Structure formats: structure tokens, C-alpha cells
Chains A and B, each alone.
Chain A
Amino acid sequence: MERALKGDFVAIGKLISVLEKEGEERRELLKEIAPLVGKAYYIGITGAPGVGKSTLVDKMVGFLRGEGYKVGVIAIDPSSPFSGGAFLGDRLRMQRHATDPGVFIRSMGSRGALGGLSKAAPYVAKLLDACGFDFIILETVGAGQSEVDIVKTADTVIIVLVPGMGDEVQIIKAGIMEIGDIFVVNKSDKEGAQKLTRELETWIELGYKGASWVPPVLMTIAENGTGVDKLINALKGHRKYLLESGELEKRRRKRIAEEISKAVEDMLKERIVKNLNKEQMNLYVDLVLNGKRDPYSIAEELVNNLY
């Protein structure tokens, strides 16, 4: 930990692996990290596959580095539901930063909703925060509840769309539009960008009447960096709004409350479910199957037995 705080990337890399595993060791590390966080600004970026999120992150990192900030990136790609393996390719677009001592990039597989790795992403963000990174960018594919949950832990959420393919409809359906603080129409070198931008603006106008923050819609061409300066300005604008309106504190309070309940959940699971051996579990299953007991009274009994 000491080495990590001094900016030793080898140590940071290893500690992240500790945070990826549920259990005692992780909890101890999180305890150490807790008092050291709070300085970094957390940005979530999400959108359909291939819309240019990683390319955009690469350009944002370049821009923020130009201003002297240290940047951490956590890039989450879906794990294969069949093998549990993953092809983590977000880094590919960011490799020019690989040897920059002010940039730390970590790829993670989502490992499914139950596996819990993607759930570790907020912990990794905290570690990077503690280690002195000023901005932490989380990239996830905007599909599935667990990804949305991760992005929601950010201070500012950027949703990326592209013209064509009717993506806007899909995303509206997926229910992730609501979490967007800033909308980006990327690949605006392509036909339909203006139209999509106008559609989004209309949608926002309708949905955000009287709201204290009305999400801006920005056009970018991530590939050549066009519009990235405006995006960074919008980010800073949102941050200012969060600070001045008290919304930042509100969000962070909510986050902390969620963390506490999540930690309780994890500990209970560890203590009860993991101590339950297969035979015992089978006995319970038999009882339920035979109609002698029900799963809920068994759960009650297990929890009560802890004390």
C-alpha cells in the first residue's frame, strides 16, 4: 500500500487484483483506502458497442494530461457468459498513454452480475483516487443493469451515441438515458449527426423542464479529437453545477449508503453462504423438495444462527 501511494505502478496493479477478489483481504484494504479518497473526480462513460467510447477516452486522457492532471482509466468489457473468459480490447485505442507515468489504465471483465468483478470497479476507482489520480474515467458498454450500476457511481455520466442504426431508440429503451449528465453524438463526421443531435435535444427539452441541470448534447469526432475540448468544458461545467447545487454531496452520500449496505450484504454472504457446505445445502434442498420446509424460513434460521 505504501508503495502504491507513492505512485509505484507495480504495487497499484497488484492491489487492484486484491480488490477484484471478495473476502477478508479486500475488506482490509478498503478500510485502508477509505480515509484517503475524495479528491478525484469520477467520470462514467457508456454507450452501445463500437460507438467510439475508448477512442473518446483516449482523447480525453490526452487533453487532461495536457492540463497536467493525472488520469486513471477503468475499462470494462463483457465477459463471455459461457467460458467466463473475456477479450479486453479497450486499451487498444489508448496505448499511446501506456508509458505515461501520469496515466494508469486497467481493463476488467464484467464477469457476470454474480461474479462480482465489475462490482469491484468502484473499489478500483477509489484506490486510484487514493493514489493521487485527479480524474478517474470508467468505461462500460451500455447494456445490462450491472454496467449501468457501475456508471452510476460516477460523479458525471457521459452517454455516447452515434448516428444511424437507430441506436437512440435502443438506448432509450434500455433505460440508460435517464442517467446521462452529458450526451455525446460521436462519429459526427457521418451522416445523420445533426438530426440525431436535434432529436436528443428535443427529447431532453421535454424531459427536463424546470430541471436544475439540463444535459448538453455535444458533437464529437473522437477519431481526430474534434469536440473533445468542448466535452471537457461540459464536464467541468457539470462538476461546477454539482458542487454549487449541493448535488455532489447528495450523490456521494447516496453512494456511501449503498456502499454500506453492499458491504453488509457481502459479509453476510461470506459468513453464511460460504460456510454452508454442499451436504448441508443438499439437506435443506431436500427439506424444501419434500414440502417440509420453505427457503425463507431456512434463510431466517441461518441468519439468526449467526448471533
Chain B
Amino acid sequence: MKFKSDPTLVDFVRTEVAPEGLSFKPLHENRVAVRIKAEDADKLAERFISKFKARLIHETAVDLEGEGFDMIYIYDFSKVRERLVVVLEAQISKDDPSPPSVAKITWQASWAEREIHDLLGISPKGTPDPRKQFLPYEWPNAAESGTAPPRPDKGPSGPQEKWIPLGIMPNDAYATLIPIGPYHPGVIEGQTVYVKVEGETVVSADIKTGFHHRGIQKLIERRGYHKGVFAAERVCGICSAAHGLTYVTACENLYEAEVPDRALYIRTLLLELNRVHSHLLWIGVVADVIGWKTGFHLSWGLRERVMDIIESITGNRVNYGIWRIGGMSRDVSKELAERALPTVKALKAEMAQLLPAVAAHSVVKSRLVGVGPLSYADAFDGGAVGPVARASNWKIDVRADNPPHAMYDPKVISWEVITDDDCDTFGRTLVRVKELLVSSDIIVQCLEHLARTTGEVRIEPKVIPVNSEGIGLNEAPRGELVHYVRASEFNMNLPQAYRIRTPSYRNNALIPKMLVGSNLADVPVVMGSTDQCLACTDRFEVIRESGGPSHSMSWAELVALGKRRGV
């Protein structure tokens, strides 16, 4: 089944959305590329956000070698027109690579601008946070483990100084700076969180990640389309289904690929199984962090059974390796589907018991309610995605707004978007537990369909056309995931550029904001509450200092905020 595309969209974009555009190119599936002058980028951003309530999905840039750079701004217009995504493109020269900053209008772009500064040397004019962000501070020398000559001592003004978080002055005698990480038993992945505490209360916080940066975008650009599937899955082992699916949708979006319906059902099935295992994993991790070991073992016990179903379908537990451009590499047989159905139904009944176990457990509630608050306005400004946004009562879900394929149409599979108005860690827990049930409903419907029907699961891959662009959008367990691919003009096998923006990239930024005012003992819970996945985030690096210029809080305000939370 294919999406109906709307032929009037280009006209709509030309006349109403971006009359400044120089040229308009319809991409596949309700996506429109607009070439603009670089100077107009901020003016357009302003109008998109204030007038159309559009949302910036990602800002990035592509190196055109001799011809400069192409700035890419991807906006989500799904609230205005069905599934409309507008891609603005502006060419800038290499002599003066300084387009106007979009981050000064919508703060969510600020990391993206720091990232392109480090990746490509583009420095947007007027960006609120111009500091270096991307590469390790000892770059370009290899680590101190013997392969490279020792790093010359840079003296007191060495790069390390930049890592002292903003707002933490040496003469703050009454505050204590506690660095957590990069190795910390409470956090599986490598990151450093600096929290500044007064007494027990956190007054400011900062995250330094990047320990997981593996250069995976470059890897995909050099491996080619078909091998890239396997690299894309390895962006993150927890949400590998989401990355695999988004990768293949982005590549299929380069041309009009007619993926068979059965393959789409299998994709939906795997994505939801993946969501169930990821949410169960998260519930276990948070239960472990708050000391509720029973909860940890309960949810990981359930998770193993989901893993068994996944293994029976794909042959693998973590990186499935069955995604292909144009379909799937394996079918789900009737017997397999029929065997999995009763297991999923039994699992759903057991998962339904998690809800009262969490929602009515007074000890669990005492550790979660009011912890890590994030208001709707903050979530909206900061660009939260996924369960974090939905727990702040913001109804966004890519499966509803910009579905990766037509199977998420409520007419095909019935499901609903879960939101919650608690705006704290408790709300995030409730959203995830309820999503478990919604996902298992979707899984049951997919399995029933697969057991009933037969069909092809893959079409022969076509030659990928040169000079084309593809966007893969998808709701990963942690939120909106975007893959952007641009085909090369010269090479049919290698993409010119591949960019990934993961949900954790957005949600991690909000952690310092959620931490301010919380008790030191709650720091791991708050950090866990976004389900942060650093492997995802660190396909490039993120730094966030509490209170960047556009969000600055005075010292007195911070202290007042801390007192209000009453510690």
C-alpha cells in the first residue's frame, strides 16, 4: 500500500510557505526541497516557527568540495499539511562559510550548529553558543596510550579549560562541583556529568559526552548503500530496529520504491517488538536505579521472552540484519506467526500488571513523582521528542504525524498516541508502560495479518538515481529519529552525504535543565528518565552548558528555584 501524495504541495510551498525560494523540487512522498539564498535562512525560520508552528527537525551541511557547502534545514510541517516536510537548501562559499544562525531563533539548533562547525568549519553568524563541541579535546593526537607522541603541555589556557562548566567559578566556595563519569557504575555508557551542588541541591549541571563517537556517518558514506544497512543498525544496539528501518526508508525515499505490503507488516512488527524490549529494558534500569530490584528482575524477565520472539523471527537477538533496501531478507512464516501469537497475548496480560505495580506502588512513586520536572513550554522550546515530550503533554509521535510507511494508518492498524500530564519522571514511566500495551496490540494485529496472508517480502533493488535526496523519519523507542541521505552525482554506489539525528541527541540536552533543583540522590534517576542512549547521541558529540545565553538564569533565580523544590 502506498501513501497518496498530494500534487498541490509544491504550489502551496511556493506561494505560502517560502515565496523567497529560488527553485522548488518535489521529493518523494510529500517532501519538498526548496533552494534558498543563505541570507534568508533565519528570516524563513522565524516565519516557519511563528506563523506555521513548524518544527525544526535537523540542521546540517554537506560538503560540495570545490563548490562550497550546502546548508540543509529540515522542517516538519505535518501539523499544517499531511506529512509535509520542507527541506531548505542554501549554498554557501568556502571562503566565508558563515550563514545566519537559526539557533538564535529556535534554540534546538544550537548543537547542530556547533556540530557543523566542528565537522565542516562552518560558523553560523550570531549562534548563541559558538564553542567547539565535536571532537575530543586531545584531537588530533591519539590517546595517551602509547601510539602517538605525548601531547605537548598547553599550559593553563589549554583546551581542557573549556570543559569547566559555565557558572562554576573557582571562588564559589559554598558550592561543590561533582564530576560523574566517564566511568560510573550507575551509568552504563561513558559520559561526564558535572553537577554543582549546594548542600544536597543541584544548582547547575552540564553534560560532556562524546566518548562513544565512532564516526559512523562517515563509515556509512564510505560503505555504500547496501552495506550501510549493517553499519546503521550498529548506531545503537538497543534501538537497532529503528535505525535499520529508518536507514532503508531513507534510501527507498531516494526513488519511488514499491515495498511489498507484507514486508511493511514485518517492519511494523519488528519495530514494535523492538519498542517493547527497549521500554522493558528502560523500566528495569530505572527500577534498578531507585533500588527496586524486584521491578528490575520482573521487567528483564519479561524482556527475555520478547527477545525469544525476536530471535525466532530474525535469527538474531540484537542486530537483526534482515533489513534490505526494497523489503526484508526473511519472511515470517504462518507457523512462526501462529506460534508467537499466544506468547505475545500472554505477555500483554503480564505487562498490564506492571501498570498498577508502578502507578500504585507508594515507594516507587515517592522516588519518581516530581523528580526531573519538564514543563510543556520547556519541552517545546528544547525540542524534546518521544516519551519525554509526550510525558510533558505534547502529542507528537512520528508514527501519527509523519509515518515511515502506510501501515500506521489507524484504518489499517488500530493504535493510539499516549500522553501524560505529570511532566516528570513518573509521567515518563507511565507513558512507557502504557506504550507497552499499545505496542503489543500492534504486534498482535501484525502477527494475525501475517498468519492469514502470504506474499512477497522483497523487490529487486533498482539502481539508485543520482541527484536525489531521501529522508527517513521514524518513531524510535526514544523518539523521533531522522536519517537524511543525499545521492552522489558521480557515484551510483556511494551516497554523497549521510546524516543521522537521533532522539537522544535532543533529549539529552534537556537533562541539565531537569537536573537543576533536584536532589543529588535523584541525579541518576533524572538522567535515566530520558532513556539516554549515548551510543546514539555520540555518533557525534554533545555538550550542553546549563543556561546558554538564550536560556540564562541569574544566580539568584537558580538558588530560588532550588529552594522552591524544597530540599
Q: Bound pair: A and B?
A: no
Q: Point out residues on A near B: beta carbons under 8 Å.
A: none
Q: Point out residues on B near A: beta carbons under 8 Å.
A: none
